[in-house]
Chains A and B, each alone.
Chain A
Amino acid sequence: MPDLASYLVFFLVVALTYALLCLGLALQWGFTGLFNVGVAGFFAIGAYASAILTGPDYPGQFGGFGLPIPLGWLGGMAAAAVAALAVGALTLRLRQDYLAIATFGVAVVIQLLALNLESLTGGAFGLGFIPRPLFGRFGSSTAFNLFYLALMTSLVGLVWLALEALVRGPWGRVLRAIREDETAAEALGKPVFRHRLESFAIGSAVMGLAGGLYASFTGFIAPQDFQAILTFQVWAMLIVGGAGSFAGAVLGAVAVWALWTASGALIDQLLPAAFQVRGAALQIVLIGVVLAATLVLRPRGLIVERAALSARAADGR
């Protein structure tokens, strides 16, 4: 396979990992109004949990359960969901900002644990030799990447369908009511707290799945994969794509990741070696500009959901 094509495959696998993160965040923010600024933390929980469950027995290291890889992914989802339930149970009854603070705290704590809890996470060196599904069957890493792209595509599709079924159904109807008027929803007998908590946990489970898939794609994870910049990227993707729909989440992920990758490549080409490090900051600035432009020109993102349109049309009567 030519270089460019195999690079494109690799690019898409990563983009679809981001797409999963965006789908989770779309449920939490777009459909529920939950301000999660700890996306990287839930991603990390899924990645580490999956790596520990499926990984080989390293000397002096907890884990090495060697479980089948899909079980690892489920474990990653469950771990992220449990973390979300704990954080949500503590903060979702309080004002909005508490959830933001708490999720930020989760990301920071997970980063610290990943760095310092060496017997569990491998510390700064991270965890390696994480099994990759059917890797031995494929002659080349390009073939494996192609297989993984197919896998990611089906899983993103599956998650998308599952979330769509949720928000289109009666459960989602309650969620929309809560988002619009919490007091009225409560007076109609809707348990607002429980619905928020469920939405938060399901969204986080999807982020955990993204983490597990990431770990078994790269075969190696380390704390620097889960820094705050990742949360910023995912938020930028969701806002650019449109937080009100899952299509927007997926589109935003691919579009912004393309921009991020292309600008990275350009900086590599154009900037002299001495400035490369500062080049990374330029990428962030660029995404920031795109984000600001979206907020000004198309505040609802590239894909505008139908419900919001009809509400707007009605307001303007």
Chain B
Amino acid sequence: MPGRGKVPPPREVELTDTPLLEIEGVSRHFGGVAAVDGVSFRLRGTPIAGLIGPNGAGKTTLFNLIAGSLRPSAGRIRLAGRRIDGLPPHRVYAAGLGRTFQIPRPFHAMSVLENVMLAPTGQRGERFWCNWLGRGAIAREERAIRERALGWLAFLGLDRLADEPAAVLSGGQRTLLELARVLMGEPRLVLLDEPGAGVNPALLATIVERLAELNRRGIAFLVIEHNMDLVMSLCRPILVMAEGRLLLEGDAASVRGDRRVVEAYLGGAAA
């Protein structure tokens, strides 16, 4: 069961000094607006990195660029040394990068369990002819996927809701469901867009604790979050964006003390 089970073996890339994620001069324009403007940074090792900045700073756009939902107007993106800019989202996902959405998007009409079972890529049963010719093999595969899905649901405390339609979940539970789905793909790096938005404090504590546990098991995170307490306590390094640019990168103390950060937020509030 993945919930309790073994830590995935460290991959080769960790032995070299190839950055996990490398963003090089990435830009994206919408008409005349540069939503993301020449952003460069690297994530090394297995961090829980934070990405903060005022509303409209370009954080979600940057996620869309990394995850392949948008094409950069310029720049390069590498995951563990491999170019992923220009790849469609499903290839980026297969390359080991999962993402959740700012507004969670579970499949409402499906059960919670089905939502998670859907996630693994390259399922044999996704080839249509196997649904006719390889039914025994598919039944076995489905059982294994089901086990794994129930394991992650238990890990995230959603197992009791497994057979409910996803539409009945609360906001925080939807975030957890998204996380469960993403984890089925055995990602190296997960992009979380505001996992704390609209989540009650008790559930938020659970989410934070589970993220830390997953991180200990070798999964890196890049987290967009407006809840500063959460970011300051959980994330390192912290990246600050404003008006499409990367303002600075540092740990909680240096970010908190930086004048530019305060100005960016105040400027954002005044505008």
Chain A interface residues (CB < 8 Å from chain B): 162, 165-166, 169-174, 176-177, 180-181, 183-184, 186-192, 198, 202, 307-308, 310-311, 313-315, 317
Contacts and interface: CB of A to CB of B under 8 A. Distances in A.
Tell which of B127, B165, B168 has the most Cβ of chain A within 10 Å: B165
Contacts of A315: 108, 167
Nearest to B125: A170
B165 A311 contact: yes
B94 A317 contact: no
Contacts of B138: 169-170
B171 to A, nearest CB: 14
Given A170-B125, A181-B105, A307-B109, 14 more contacts: A165-B132, A166-B131, A173-B117, A174-B126, A176-B107, A176-B109, A186-B88, A188-B93, A189-B91, A189-B119, A198-B128, A311-B109, A311-B165, A314-B108
User: Lowest 3 A-B CB distances belong to which pairs?
Assistant: A170-B125, A314-B167, A189-B93
A188 B182 CA distance: 7
A171 B89 contact: no
Contacts of B114: 173
B105 A183 contact: yes
Nearest to A161: B132
Contact of B118 (A173, A198, A311): A173
Nearest to B95: A189
A144 to B, nearest CB: 31
A301 B168 CA distance: 26
B131 A165 contact: yes
Contacts of A176: 107, 109-110
Interface string B14-44: 0000000000000000000000000000000
A77 to B, nearest CB: 14
Interface residues of B, number: 40
Contact of B109 (A162, A165, A171, A310): A310
Interface string B66-85: 01010000000000000000
Contact of A184 (B94, B105, B135, B165): B105
A33 to B, nearest CB: 13
Contacts of A188: 90, 93, 118-119, 121, 181-182, 185
Contacts of B110: 173, 176-177, 180, 307
Given A183-B69, A188-B185, A177 B131 contact: no
A184 B185 contact: no
A314 B111 CA distance: 11
B99 interface: yes
A183 B88 CA distance: 11
A191 B126 CA distance: 10
A177 B126 contact: no
B125 A189 contact: no
B249 interface: no
B123 interface: yes
27 contacts: A165-B131, A165-B132, A165-B135, A170-B125, A171-B128, A172-B131, A174-B118, A177-B118, A180-B107, A180-B108, A181-B107, A183-B69, A183-B105, A186-B88, A186-B89, A187-B93, A188-B90, A188-B118, A189-B93, A189-B119, A190-B90, A190-B118, A191-B90, A198-B128, A311-B109, A313-B165, A314-B109
A177 B101 CA distance: 16
Contacts of B107: 176-177, 180-181, 184
A187 B128 contact: no
Contact of A186 (B69, B130, B135, B182): B69
Interface in B144-165: 165
A208 to B, nearest CB: 17
B131 A169 contact: yes
Contacts of B123: 170
Contacts of B135: 165
B90 A317 contact: no
A162 B132 CA distance: 7
Nearest to A313: B165
A316 to B, nearest CB: 10
A9 to B, nearest CB: 31
B131 A189 contact: no
Contact of B101 (A165, A184, A311): A184
A315 B165 CA distance: 10
Contacts of A180: 107-110
A188 B88 CA distance: 11
